Amino acid sequence: MTGSDGTGAGRQAPENRAMAFAADLSKAGELQMPREQMLDLGRKALDLVVERIEGLPGTRAWEGEFRQVLEEQLLEAPPEDGRPVDEVMERVVRDVLPLSVRLDHPRCFGFVPSSPAWPAVVADFMAAGWNINQCTWLVASGPSQLELVVIDWFRRWLGYPDGAGGLFTSGGSAASVDAFVAAREAAGHPERATVYMSDQSHSALVRAAIIVGVRRECIRMIPSDDDFRLDMDALARAVTDDRAAGFTPVAVAANAGTVGTGAIDPLEAMAGFCLAEGLWLHVDAAYGGFAAVTERGRRLLRGIERADSIGLDAHKWFFQPYEAGCLLVKDETNLRNAFGVRHDILQDTVWGANHPNFSDLGLQLSRSARALKVWMSVQTFGMARFRRAVGKGMDLAARAEAHVRASPVLEAMSEATLGIVCFRVNPAGGGLDEVALDEINRTVLARMFWDDPAFMSSTLLHGTFALRMCIVNDATTWDDVRETLGAVESFGTEVLSNFGASA
């Protein structure tokens, strides 16, 4: 007996047909690899990554290439037929991956470096291998529970009450967007909304305000004082003036700490002000928030627990691979109200109030399982070691500042509040004017960039060019910091003599 197609398939029981179809599919899988090849490729990748990490101290902290060169190497149509995977891997390791700032290099002090803990790196691989989509409880209950656990750790570290909640985000930028959406919705989405932040705030905050629909001319950059902390009087004046002019102040963003100097805005005063004025207080703690795991950091961040929302970046000072941002909100219903949108296709995912769908709390539906890496690394090393690792950054920055202050060549430009120290080449009594100092220090930075294995960056502090070191890598030693400062002093002395000045 045969079916209409002559194969007999039409006569099979439905379950047999399903099994036959599945077997066909697995045979026909175009993108499958045999087990041995999977293991071989995985082991090679593992060896290469470990080798890279072990080799970091012997390399430069930066490597890069110009676009024209890279286009010649890499710009091509995708191949119609594949190549041996070993070749593909070799090419990536030779031509692509090394061309980047080695942010986990012990002498990487530029921007905000990061040095991911190994169990966290492995966790990212496992999350990808398990193919977790951390969107709803139905789709990923285990990872959702883990996200609840880690968010609860963060809540406690920051001093937030029960009822606070939040979610993992790609980073601090996404956390700021989610926070401003929540603030805007809590304020009833008013016309002519204004937001306030200091002139030291990260550009991510400005961008977030634009994304949520605040007009550029309604983003108020409040001046900071000599310590790079937001000026409270200026904030109060701006809010009063705006109300008088018919604007609707909605939110204030505080820094903890600023990416320029690590300065922490007057959090207690800002919280009191926002409460009195009915404004949402968001604290951008993307850089400095995890200092809260230490006693010292907790003291410095006092008042943060009064904010309506806090943005954190575990891929900065909590030793996680990218991406590991987080938004905490004091009252989680604000996020739910802002982001909860019913969708017919997701009706099966509603499991009642105790089974949260993280996609209802922020802008992403499909999400990677970011909490897994934090959980695995904290479970492996324990908080005592994490606390010491964070504390070490503060110790080294304080020591770097002391070195700068004792140096005959260098001038401290900011206090090392958290893990950042800003300074410049400017010998005491050198009598150099600002124009000369600008040029000298830009030249010194260029010398460091090309002629020293360390990588550091710069900033403008109230318009003045400053060299900047951010010291938050767990593998960095005092020798790394001291020798880098020594190189700056030595290039500085050379450059000064070219300018006819001396140290």
Ligand X SMILES: Cc1ncc(COP(=O)(O)O)c(C=O)c1O
**Which spans of this chain sit near ligand X (rule: CB under 6 A)?**
112, 171-173, 202, 204, 259, 284, 286-287, 313, 325
Closer CB to ligand X, 179 or 410, in the complex: 179
Write down the least CB distance from residue 112 to ligand X, Å: 5
Closer CB to ligand X, 259 or 488, in the complex: 259
Write down the least CB distance from residue 286 to ligand X, Å: 4
Rounded distance, CA 170 to CA 344, Å?
26
Q: How many CB atoms lie within 10 A of CB 267?
A: 24
Residue 126 and residue 372 in contact, taking contact as beta carbons nearer than 8 Å: yes
Return phi, psi of residue 424, to 5°: -155, 165
Strand partners, 327: 167, 311
Write down the least CB distance from residue 327 to ligand X, Å: 11
Rounded distance, CA 195 to CA 206, Å?
9
b/e per residue 18-39 (b: at least 16 CB within 10 A): eeeeeeeeeeeeeeeeeeeeee
Q: Which helix (H) or strand (E) covers residue 439, if one does?
A: helix 434-451
Write down the least CB distance from residue 451 to ligand X, Å: 26
Rg (CA), the chain: 26
Write down the least CB distance from residue 298 to ligand X, Å: 19
Closer CB to ligand X, 136 or 459, in the complex: 459
Closer CB to ligand X, 466 or 495, in the complex: 466
Query: Residue of minimal CB distance from ligand X?
Result: 171
Closer CB to ligand X, 202 or 370, in the complex: 202
Write down the least CB distance from residue 204 to ligand X, Å: 4
Residue 281 and residue 270 in contact, taking contact as beta carbons nearer than 8 Å: yes
Q: Which two tokens stand for residue 34?
A: 């045999």
Closer CB to ligand X, 112 or 307, in the complex: 112
Its sign, for the CA torsion 304, 329, 166, 150, is: positive
Write down the least CB distance from residue 102 to ligand X, Å: 17
Rounded distance, CA 299 to CA 308, Å?
19
Write down the least CB distance from residue 426 to ligand X, Å: 26
String of DSSP letters for 321-341: -S--EEEEESSTHHHHHHH--
Closer CB to ligand X, 256 or 400, in the complex: 256
Closer CB to ligand X, 61 or 312, in the complex: 312
46: which DSSP letter? H
Q: How many CB atoms lie within 10 A of CB 395?
A: 15
* Burial of 368 (C-beta count, 10 Å sphere; 0-12/13-18/19+): buried
